[in-house]
Amino acid sequence: MSMQHSLVYENERLDELHRNGYFIIQNPARFCFGMDAVLLSGFARAKDGERVLDLGTGTGIIPILMEAKTKASHFTALEIQEESADMARRSVLYNRLEDKIEVITGDIKDASAIFGASSFEVITTNPPYMIGNHGIQSESTSKAIARHEILCTLDDILTQSARLLCPNGRFYMIHRPFRLAEIFCKMSACRIEPKRMKLVYPYVDKEPNMVLIEGLLGGKPRLTVEKPLIVYQKPGVYTDEIYDIYGY
């Protein structure tokens, strides 16, 4: 058995990412990345030499995709669930990216204590969307933690990001449109000014079900609303923009 394939454990699968020949290790029984993570990796911007932190990285999908798409100098990925962090580390090793991506097991609420203030030019996050306990009883713990604000809230993410970002640092998040008013209020309260927004629609005639947001630490109030992103032309057929983001 090759060293690479020894990194993939029983009940796990190896999924191709269609970027730089990269793969990711996932366990369907836990939590597999969704389209939201891929869309965020396409929306977020990281420039040459910048340091990027991904909060709640899961299995490391966003840093791995952004390493393929950007010229950022280094990615740090923070994940509270050790099993997911371990899978992320093994995916980093599988793709030989250990010099570019570091995975840390830890709590988002402790992030500024772990890394120190003003440590990153860019923060990305695909956080839990749902408030409260609705639907949790039917989910496994790992999936519930990924989907519901059990271990971290929007407030935790924003207050920590405001401490972690360098002056004029950028914050990128994907979330649900039904929480937009709350998101914008809390971002502004943390001095992360909303600067760019893109709504994601499943079909052109449906209402949006995701929103991509860019914030600027200490930025002046001025929001650009970009043209919407439509996911499907018809059932089972993505739009050209989605195929482009996925790299097909």
What is the pTM assigned to this prediction? 0.91
Phi first, then psi: give them for residue 228, nearest 5 degrees: -65, 155
**What CATH number does residue 46 fall under?**
3.40.50.150
Domain with 115 in it: 5-246
Instruction: Give the model confidence (pLDDT) of 151-186 as tens digits.
Output: 578 999 999 999 999 999 999 999 999 999 999 999
Q: Which residue has the higher pLDDT, 121 or 11?
A: 121
- DSSP H or E segment with residue 216: strand 210-217
d(CA 62, CA 59): 9
Domain count, the chain: 1
Task: Give the pLDDT score at 220.
Answer: 95
| CA pair distance 170, 204, nearest whole angstrom | 30
Q: 9 in helix, strand or coil?
A: coil
Predicted confidence (pLDDT) per residue in 118-134, tens digit:
999 999 999 976 665 55
